[in-house]
Structure formats: C-alpha cells, structure tokens
C-alpha cells in the first residue's frame, strides 16, 4: 500500500508539472531493446537547439520514471517516509518554478502486462519512439503478441509516434490506433533512414540521412558500431526533425552521438585487439544483431563470448538454440558460453554448426580463457545478460589498459561488491 500511495503521488505531480508548463515537450521511448541508447541519442541531438532533461540511467519503472521526468534524485532508502517527504517537497517546487528545460525525454519499461498502458494514464507525450518488438520478460508475457500490445501502447496514447520499421514486424500494424505514425530504419521503405557510404573501425560510418521532410539528404558521420546503433541515431534524428530542427543542427547532433557503456561500445584490447562491449544486457534480437556486427569486421580472428539471455521463460531453449545456429565456424575461431542456459542450449547448437565451443560457469573463467587464445589484431564480442552473467568482468581481463575499466558497465563500488560476492561462490 505504501508503494501504491507513493506512486500515485508522483504521477499526480507529473500531471501537475505538465499542466503548469504546457510549453515543455515530452518524448517517451518504449521498446523491447535499445530504449536507453535511443533516449540518450535523442538527448544528444536535441541538445543542439533545446534545453533537455534526460536521465542517463534506465530509470523507467513506476517510481523511478516520474522522478526522472521531474529531475529529482531517486531516494537511497525507499522505505524512509522522510526521504519521500523531501521528494514531495522537491516536486512541488519543480512545479512552481519556471521550466528549466524545453524537452523531457523519458523511457518507459515493462516487465509485466499493463505497465506501459498504465503510463498513459498520467503521461500525454508529444512523441513516442518505439524501438523494437522482440522477446523480453517472456516468463510474464508468454508470447510475442502480448509483448507487441504492451510496447505499442505507448504509440497509441501519444500525440504522434515514430516506429522502428526494421525491428517491429509489420503484422502488428493492426494494433496501432494512432494515425499520426512515422517510421525510421535502414532502408528506403522507412520515412527516415540512413544510406552508408563508408565504414572504418576507427571512424565509424559515413553516409547520408534521408528525411521525408527535407528536399536533400544530409551528410553525417556516426562514430558507432552496428546497424542497431545506426537505427538508434536515425530514430533520434527523426524526433529532432519532428520538433523543427534544421538539417545543420540535426547533422551536427548526430555526429556527437556516442555509444553508452555496455551498448555496442568499441574498446581496445591487448595485442591490438578489438573488444565489442555489449555487456549491459542481452536478448535474442540484440544478440543476433551484435553477432552480425562481429561478422562484418575484417580481422584475422573473431571470438564470440555469449552469456545467458535471461527472462525468456519457456522460450529460452529455442531462442538460445537459434542464436547457437547463427554461430558460423567460417567466421568464429571460438564460441565461448557463460551460464547454464547458454551451456545447455546454445553451445550444442553451435557445435552442430561446426564451431569450436568452450563453456564456463562464470565470466572470470571465460575472460581468462579468451586471453589465452586471443591472437594479435583479433576481435572479441562480449554479449550477455546482467543477472549473474556480468560479462563486463570477462572483458576487463583483456582490456588494453586498466584505465579503460571505467568505461565498462556496473563499475560502482556497490556493483563491484555485489559481483565479488557472486564470484566468490565458485
């Protein structure tokens, strides 16, 4: 009851804030994968013209989302009534003060049915961006059709929506009741898309942004890696165009987009090797996309370190097997798995494809093994879920310098202690 009371109070404060400041635009980001990266990319591009509020973390739940929208810190002790009284005081002050931002960008997440539709009871976004519909939290949702209903709800309670055409199956168009819909992606079938002219590992992508609103394409440089990252940048550009930014502002903002920690970030490894750090979390869509990106690199050796994809419920077997079948022995010197699900289902499928496979119970063992077989100039992909997988600790073993450890995810003292306790069990 205490949490319900707090949640209702916060939602009412959010409604009061936008009523007091109707000039402030609200952008929400929903989707099975890529919400935080897309949110941050939108913030980067919009900052070329607007004052922006965007939380760097993934505060997207019932209590954290309203606080992120209002720009108020989440209390350390959520059971302390005095901490919440301080939050309420700060919220009232935020409502009364002149607006300190022009745009609020907020992700909305869901790990059970009804959370995103509920957000529509207190949020009236100007634009919703839907990044993907793919398997997530399947122990709660059960099937992908229910996931689609959940994620696309954000498009329907917003004034307009921008949808990733590549990662949302067309059959779900019937779930959209909002007629003000635009699409973004990698091809000309979308209204906003990117045409690649050149790519290097050092400089990223050079190409052109095509927008339906512009007569001419705009040259942009994206210091990013992988098609998923390009889509994120294009989605951000689409929002900027919708808010009236010109081509010069949008192009300049896109050039400044960088990969967030643990999300397709390129790091230097030992012996002139390349690390693709995609360790923040993992899902079937994100893992397959990351693997394709590894295949696209021209390097003498490629190793895929693939951890469990958590929260898949009854679909875990088939999804891990499918990823295992994507492992190509002509591309990969080694497939290294971490976790029970990957060992049981992904590893056998990869072996059947003809791959060399090595399985480990935890990330530190996997990192040591990769270090022992890694060749000069090679590339290693680290991709796994956060819950008890923590592949950032495997990546740490082969980093070029300990100074780059700060670029990895979950490196706060609390996270390091939590991981130390976990690894001590083995």
Domain boundaries, the chain: 2-255, 265-423
| Residue 60 pLDDT greater than 80, yes or no | no
For all residues of the chain together, what is the average pLDDT?
A: 95
Nearest Cα neighbor of 157 from 178, 142, 173, 139 is 178
Categorize the per-residue pLDDT at 285 as very low, low, confident or very high, splitting at 50, 70 and 90. Answer: very high
- For residues 386-397, give the mean pLDDT: 96
**Prediction pTM value:** 0.94
Query: What is the token pair recorded at 270?
Result: 């030992």
The answer to which of 54-58, 63-67, 175-179, 237-241 has the lowest mean pLDDT is 54-58
Residue 71 scores a pLDDT above 90: yes
pLDDT digit string (tens) for 315-354? Answer: 999 999 999 999 999 999 999 999 999 999 999 999 999 9
Residue 2 neighbours by CB distance under 10 Å: 10
The beta strand positions in 225-285, using DSSP E, are 265-268, 274-278
pLDDT digits 0-9 by tens, 194-238: 999 999 998 999 999 999 999 999 999 999 999 999 999 999 999
| Segment holding 251, helix H or strand E | helix 247-255
Confidence of residue 399 (pLDDT cuts 50, 70, 90): very high
Q: What percent of the chain has pLDDT over 90?
A: 89
Task: Give the pLDDT band of residue 424 (cuts 50, 70, 90).
Answer: very high
Mean pLDDT of 297-305: 97
Looking at domain 265-423, its CATH superfamily turns out to be Mur ligase, C-terminal domain (3.90.190.20)
What is d(CA 239, CA 186) in angstroms, rounded to the nearest whole number? 16
Q: Which residue stretches of 97-226 are H helix? A: 115-119, 138-141, 144-156
What is the Cα–Cα distance from 312 to 287, expressed in whole angstroms?
13
- Residue 77 — very low, low, confident or very high, per pLDDT cuts 50/70/90? confident
Q: What backbone torsions phi and psi does residue 321 show, to the nearest 5 degrees?
A: -65, -40
Q: Which residues of 329-343 are buried (b: 16+ CB within 10 A; e: fewer)?
A: eebbbbbbbbbebbb
Q: What are phi and psi of 309, to 5 degrees?
A: -100, 105
Per-residue model confidence (pLDDT) at position 80: 85
Tokens of 355: 């791959």
Task: Provide CATH code, domain 2-255.
Answer: 3.40.1190.10
Residue 335: predicted pLDDT? 98
Instruction: With residue 239 as reference, give the H or E element that holds it.
Output: helix 227-242
% pLDDT > 70, the chain? 100
d(CA 57, CA 204): 25
pLDDT band for position 135 (cuts 50, 70, 90): confident
Least confident of 41-55, 138-152, 224-238: 138-152
SS3 of residue 48 by DSSP? coil
Token pair, residue 271, equals 């012996």
pLDDT of residue 302: 98
Spatial distance between the Cα atoms of 96 and 90, rounded to a whole number of angstroms: 10
Given this model, what pLDDT does residue 169 score?
Answer: 94
Tokens of 68: 């992120």
């Amino acid at each position: 009851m205490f949490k319900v009371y707090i949640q209702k109070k916060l939602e009412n404060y959010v409604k009061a804030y936008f009523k007091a400041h109707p000039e402030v635009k609200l952008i929400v980001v929903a989707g099975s994968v890529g919400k935080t990266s897309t949110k941050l990319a939108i913030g980067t591009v919009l900052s070329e013209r607007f004052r922006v509020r965007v939380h760097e973390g993934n505060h997207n739940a019932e209590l954290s989302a309203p606080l992120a929208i209002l720009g108020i810190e989440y209390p350390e002790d959520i059971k302390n009534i005095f901490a919440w009284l301080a939050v309420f005081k700060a919220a009232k002050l935020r409502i009364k003060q002149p607006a300190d931002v022009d745009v609020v960008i907020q992700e909305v997440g869901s790990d059970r049915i009804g959370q995103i539709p509920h957000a529509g009871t207190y949020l009236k976004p100007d634009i919703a961006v839907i990044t993907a519909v793919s398997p997530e939290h399947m122990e709660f949702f059960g099937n992908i059709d229910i996931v689609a209903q959940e994620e696309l709800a954000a498009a329907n309670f917003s004034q307009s929506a921008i949808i990733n055409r590549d990662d949302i199956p067309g059959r779900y168009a019937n779930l959209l009741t909002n007629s003000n819909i635009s699409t973004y992606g990698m091809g000309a079938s979308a209204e906003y898309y990117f045409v690649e002219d050149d790519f290097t590992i050092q400089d990223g992508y050079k190409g052109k942004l095509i927008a339906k609103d512009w007569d001419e394409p705009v040259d942009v440089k994206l210091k990013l890696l992988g098609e998923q990252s390009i889509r994120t940048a294009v989605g951000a550009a689409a929002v900027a165009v919708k808010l009236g930014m010109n081509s010069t502002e949008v192009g300049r903002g896109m050039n400044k987009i960088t990969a967030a920690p643990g999300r397709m970030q390129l790091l230097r490894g030992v012996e002139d090797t390349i690390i693709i750090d995609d360790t923040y979390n993992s899902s079937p869509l994100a893992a397959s996309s990351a693997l394709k990106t590894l295949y696209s690199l021209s390097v003498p050796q490629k190793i895929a370190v693939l951890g469990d994809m958590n929260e898949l419920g009854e679909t875990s077997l088939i999804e891990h097997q499918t990823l295992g079948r994507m492992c190509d022995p002509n591309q990969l010197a080694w497939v290294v798995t971490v976790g029970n699900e990957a060992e049981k289902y992904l590893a056998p499928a990869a072996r059947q494809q003809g791959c060399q496979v090595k399985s480990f119970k935890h990330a530190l063992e996997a990192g040591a093994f990769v270090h022992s077989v890694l060749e000069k100039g090679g590339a290693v992909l680290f991709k796994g879920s956060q819950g008890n997988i923590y592949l950032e600790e495997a990546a740490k073993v082969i980093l070029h310098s300990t100074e780059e450890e700060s670029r990895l995810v979950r490196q706060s003292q609390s996270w390091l202690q939590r991981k130390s306790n976990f690894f001590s069990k083995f």
